[in-house]
């Protein structure tokens, strides 16, 4: 696998009042290592739909999904429910898959065939389309 090192600026970037910038590069990182801990048990999925907008997930975002993480109550997961994939928060206590959109209802999982494909640990958003 090819490693591409990307420079990191030595100063934090203010998201509030602007601060003077400089050209000081503190280090370089391997972005793949930073985002994906175990490549052999990780996959990426693209978001469609609006069921997770209240947690900041929007159509087109890329989900980094890790199969090696055991889901727990409150985990954002990719679940196969009766064969259909969905991204929801799992509520193990009430046996529900929870949307993060006030216009949508929780999905009961009690009598369904549920397979957790992985836990969403990170996601990537492209703010400016390429091209």
Q: How many CB atoms lie within 10 A of CB 122?
A: 15
Q: Are 94 and 104 in contact (CB under 8 A)?
A: no
Query: Residues with Cβ < 8 Å from 25, sequence gap 6 or more?
Result: 7, 8, 9, 10
40 is catalytic: no
The residue from 51, 70, 72, 75 that is catalytic is: 51
Measured between alpha carbons, how far is 5 from 111 in angstroms, rounded to an integer?
48
Catalytic residue among 70, 75, 88, 112: 88
**Residue (of 94, 97, 95) closest to 117 by Cα position:** 97
Active-site annotation holds for 88: yes
* Active site (catalytic) residues: 51, 88
């Amino acid at each position: 696998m090819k490693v591409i090192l990307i420079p990191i600026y030595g100063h934090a970037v203010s998201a509030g009042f602007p601060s003077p910038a400089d050209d000081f590069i503190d280090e370089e990182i391997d972005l793949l290592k930073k985002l994906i801990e175990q490549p052999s048990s990780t996959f990426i999925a693209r978001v469609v739909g609006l069921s997770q907008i209240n947690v900041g997930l929007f159509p087109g975002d890329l989900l980094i999904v890790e199969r090696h993480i055991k889901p727990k109550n409150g985990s954002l997961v990719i679940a196969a429910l009766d064969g259909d994939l969905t991204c929801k928060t799992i509520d193990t206590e009430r046996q529900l898959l929870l949307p993060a959109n006030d216009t949508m209802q929780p999905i009961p999982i009690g009598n369904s065939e549920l397979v957790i494909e992985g836990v969403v640990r990170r996601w990537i958003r492209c703010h400016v389309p390429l091209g």
